[in-house]
Structure 1
Amino acid sequence: MTELRVVDVTEEQLDSVWRVRIRSFGPGGDRDEWKKNARAFIADRRILGVVDGDELIAAARIWPFEQWWNGRSVPMGGVAGVVVAPEYRGRGVGSLMMRGVLQRCVEKGYPLTALYPATTVLYRHLGYEFGGGQYKFSLQAADLRTLGGSGTAVRRATVEDVDRLLELATASNAAKRTSGPLIWPRTEILSWLEDEDTFAYVAEDGFVVYRWSDGDLVVDELVAGSETTARALWATVGSGSSIATTVQAYCAPFDPIHLLAEHEAQGDARIVRWMLRLVDAPAALAARGYPAGAVLDLDLRIDDPELPANSGDWHLSIADGSAQLTQAEPSDGALRLGPRGLAGLYAGTPVAALRGAGLISGAGAADAALDAVFGGQTPYMLDYF
């Protein structure tokens, strides 16, 4: 190998990226459509590669997301399409690629980054840890059809509703203090509404987006601000029960549908776990939401070898639903943690579990307060990227 370098992928290199993708993920997808989408990443310097001389041997993309954390949205770089040519695997190319991704997230001002791992080994070495899951439940379509809500007006959504859907999702996530769901770029939401194979319906305080897949109906997202709207939207999906016996639904494990449907979701619920990392610890902690009335004052010592700006002695102060992380003098009583422990704490992983895994240490008297401040609803995503 010559000297390996991280570079911004150019349009001339997209064919090389595609070839590495095919070798990594197998055949599938529309090459021209993929290249069309990739050009938007090139324009915004959100697709990186590794080259050996003139040969592109690895690549990764960064989505410009926002992610909800306890009812507040935080900018997040969603890492996807991480591929390495087979003949270069096991040589540190993936780590080099991801270090370039982390630095680009710093440059782009993303306090957080998240991904769905093909392997946890690489990403844990770089400071990622599990943050939550994507849940898919199997429901009986006939159950949904009988939920009622006939008095609630429901109409087909069009591209003119894109901002309304964003407003409804924002209001719902803020009110319910959710953690994990994404805000996609507006252009992507428009493309979904333009897709003839995607069905979207909107009510005054909610909407549903669903589609067909292998004879089943699949709900990608359902937002409802009231019980009556939830019933009406789920019944709209269930109206297809004469054809589809099963509805696959991406939703939270505590979604009201689990209380509304007469029969329990089938036992084959699918969970795909995603990983989280803090890129800018002070910004990430300041942007996150916290329970009203929660108060915490605690010294931290963070050791982050990949992103040294996070390392050092800090003081964390949380009050009135907001947090501030400021540099401080060293303290013998500080909570000690690395990026994996910090990510787990941010995502609400119980402190006892983090201690049991050796991801945090010190400040034992603060465990209950930390759980109260960072705990809450289980983080979940609706989307795979």
Structure 2
Amino acid sequence: MTDALRVVDVVEEQLEAVWGVRQRSFGPGGDKDEWRKTALEFLRDGRYLGVVDGDQLVAAARIWPLEQWWGGRKLPMGGVAGVIVAPEYRGRGVGSLLMRGVLERCAEKGYPLSALYPATTVLYRHLGYEFGGAKYRFAFPAADLRVLGGKGVAVRKAGKEDAQLFLDLASKLHETQRTNGPLVWPLSEIEDWLGDEENFAYVAEDGFVVYNWTDGGLAVGELIAGSEQTARALWATVGSGASTARTVYAVVPPTDPIHLLAEHEAESDPSVIRWMLRLVDAPAAIAQRGFPASVVLDVAVRLEDADLPANAGDWRLSIADGAGTLTAAEPAEDALHLGARGLAALYAGTSMAALRAGGLATGGAAAADPALDTAFGGPASYMVDDF
């Protein structure tokens, strides 16, 4: 790495260079005009960063302004996407330089969390990211869904004017079920999603479904249902295409009720794509997360975080009445030691036993481990979206 390499905000005049690196990184394809339109939105808000060598742009990444559910509460999350490095600059620390700039920008933007789908885990683990959950895609016989019933539930076709309603329905479900992982997109993105003629959207009083055609079958992008009967009605709506589509591919968590409602189990070997999590502002991430109301916890924690030193040091983690705090404290001999990766994994529900066995947690009182498991556990973390 040379002194000429530096992190910059991507400007419009550099988009042609970004496109060139993107093509060399991901291969040919994609609609350049649509990509450029989206890219302009990112750079106008300071969410498109690059690395230049002198005047030459050699790497870039963008940050989505998202929210994410944790413990039934949503908090801001910077979704990192489109990370590209020119082939001739790989292996020279350029990716790390870029991602440190991304983490600093996430902190400046007030995102307590950052998440991404990794092309490689090595780079991101070195920068404090760890697996937080997965995106699961199951395949069900369409005929099974068609007969699920729910005929007493009123279901109507939805459009972009229902975008806020969709957000409200999803929020109600995730808050009630103390969900971990699903994203909250900006309203404009939901409007575009519902306005896409290739998507079929239907809504009931307490739920909705969005699906489309794919590979000769149907693909459910998201289904939210606040009751058994609504779940049956919405899945049956999708299954009504069974005369044309033999299979329905559904992006749902492993614990979704459809696994209990469908007569036959999902086809074997579901698609599982794992994503990684990183705490950008540890005190804010703890304060804004939800916790089980039954948990009462007070433990000393020592955090190590070379890339975001504001997180490093001695803290007191306290949880009570469904809320948590992380406050600066004096060093304690019995402190639980965590690096950025260990903290991210704990936050996402990885058990203390696994963290200790994996070398991501040391010290602390073993007697506190069950309470930590209960505090950060709950429903398995998942997403239904790419970004």
TM-score calculated relative to the size of structure 2: 0.99
Asked if 1:133 is matched to 2:137, the reply is no
Matching of residue 279 in structure 1 with residue 245 in structure 2: no
Whole-Å Cα distance in 2 between the matches of residues 268 and 201 of structure 1? 29
Q: Aligned residue for 1:376?
A: 378
Displacement, 1:277?
Answer: 0.4
**Alpha-carbon distance in 2 for matches of 1:372, 1:226:** 26
Per-residue CA deviation, residues 299-321 of structure 1 (Å, 9 max, x unaligned), is: 00001000000001100110000
Task: Give the CA deviation at 1:15.
Answer: 1.1
CA positional deviation for 1:150: 1.3
- Asked whether the 8 Å contact 1:138–1:268 carries over to 2, the reply is no
Tell me whether 1:5 sits opposite 2:10 in the alignment.
no
Post-superposition CA distance 1:326-360 (Å, at most 9, x none): 11010000000100000011001010000001101
Amino acid at match of 1:344: A
Residue correspondence of structure 1 range 258-297 to structure 2 within 5 A:
258-297=259-298
- Counterparts of 2:367 and 2:334, CA distance in 1: 10
Q: Map 1:33-52; keep pairs closer than 5 Å.
A: 33-52=34-53
Question: CA offset at residue 44 of structure 1?
Answer: 0.7
**1:116 Cα deviation from its structure 2 partner:** 0.4
1:365 maps to amino acid? A
1:293, CA displacement in angstroms?
A: 1.3
Residue in 2 that maps onto 1:211:
212
Is the partner of 1:134 in helix, strand or coil?
A: strand
SS in 2 for 1:324: strand
Number of residue-to-residue matches in the alignment: 385
> Is contact 1:158–1:193 with CA below 8 Å preserved after alignment?
yes
| Superposed displacement of residue 2, structure 1 | 5.7
Residue 174 of structure 1 and its aligned partner are, at CA, apart by 0.3
Say whether residues 1:247 and 2:248 are aligned partners: yes
SS of equivalent residue, structure 2 residue 241:
coil
The within-5 A match list for 1:183-332 is: 183-332=184-333
Q: 1:48-63 counterparts in 2 under 5 A?
A: 48-63=49-64
How far does residue 369 in structure 1 lie from its aligned partner after superposition? 1.1
Alpha-carbon contact 1:140-1:246 (below 8 Å) kept? yes
**1:67-146 counterparts in 2 under 5 A?**
67-146=68-147
Q: Structure 1: any 5+ residue segments left out of the alignment? A: none
* Secondary structure of 1:34's aligned partner: helix
* CA displacement at 1:185 relative to structure 2: 1.0
**1:249 partner amino acid:** A
Question: Bigger shift: 76-85 or 151-160?
Answer: 151-160
Residues 56-92 of structure 1 deviation map (CA, whole Å, 9 limit, x = unaligned): 1000010001000010001100000000000000000
Q: 3-state SS of the aligned residue for 1:239?
A: helix
Tell me if 1:155 matches 2:156.
Answer: yes
Matching residue of 2:343: 342
Amino acid at match of 1:280: D
Determine the C-alpha separation between the residues in 1 that align with 2:196 and 2:11: 28
Distance in 1 between the 2:241 and 2:200 partners? 12
Distance 2:154 2:295 in 1: 40
Q: Distance in 1 between matches of 2:192 and 2:17?
A: 26
Partners of 1:64 and 1:328 in 2: CA distance = 32
For the pair 1:16 / 2:5, whether they are aligned, the reply is no
Output the amino acid matched with 1:176: Q
CA distance in 1, matches of 2:212, 2:281: 37
Deviation of 1:12 (Å)? 1.0
Q: Secondary structure at the match of 1:7?
A: strand
Question: For 1:186-237, what per-residue CA distance to the aligned partner results, in whole angstroms no more than 9, with x for missing partners?
Answer: 1111111111001110001100011111111000000001111100100110
Corresponding residue SS for 1:240 = helix
Match for 1:356: what amino acid? A
Q: Which amino acid aligns with 1:55?
A: Q
Measure how far apart 1:365 and its partner are.
2.1
Distance apart, 1:172 and its partner CA: 0.6
Shift of 1:159: 1.4
**Counterpart Cα distance in 2 of 1:296 and 1:375:** 14
| Cα shift readout 1:139-196 (whole Å, capped 9, x = no counterpart) | 0100000001111111110111111001000001001110000001111111111110
Please tell me whether the aligned partners of residues 144 and 238 of structure 1 are also in contact (alpha carbons under 8 angstroms).
yes
